[in-house]
Amino acid sequence: MSVDFAAVMSWVIIGLVIVILYVVGLWSLFKKMGQPGWVGIVPVLDTYVIYKLAGRDWWWLLLLLVPCLSFIVAWMMASDLAKLFGKDIGWTLLLFFFFPIGAMILAYGDSTYVGPKERII
């Protein structure tokens, strides 16, 4: 069975375009939040900054390593990010299940960063 080189290269190019859009989207998202853009593309730092902006402590990152708790903690991060932009449960669901799509919509759309209303516990 031979693999068509053009087909493989087209999928590679499509994948690279999606990754580049996502990286630029995260950069723009963090710029909207008043942070340096490069923070959005550093894997653990981006989550830490979202937690800090939402008023959570650094040890929430450690909770992501606990297998059963990680889903709950990821849900809380999606909820926190939605609240930072003044969004409700629909956006929490989008950010939890389809984070790249939700992040790019927040970054490229007309959403405005409103910041934390109060400390979230």
Q: What is the pLDDT of residues 3-18, one digit of tens each?
A: 788 888 999 999 999 8
| Residue 105: predicted pLDDT | 93
Only one residue has tokens 């996502």, namely 22
Note the Cα 120 to chain centre separation in Å.
18
List the alpha helices (DSSP H) in the chain.
5-32, 43-53, 60-63, 69-84, 89-97, 99-108
Q: Is the dihedral of CA 93, 95, 100, 104 positive or negative?
A: positive
Is residue 119 predicted with pLDDT exceeding 50? no
pLDDT grade for 120, boundaries at 50, 70 and 90: very low
User: Mean pLDDT over residues 20-26, rounded?
Assistant: 89
**CA pair distance 121, 100, nearest whole angstrom:** 25
- Beta-carbon contacts of residue 19 (< 8 Å; ≥ 6 apart): none
3-state secondary structure of 43: helix
Single pTM value for the model: 0.79
More confident residue, 14 or 116: 14
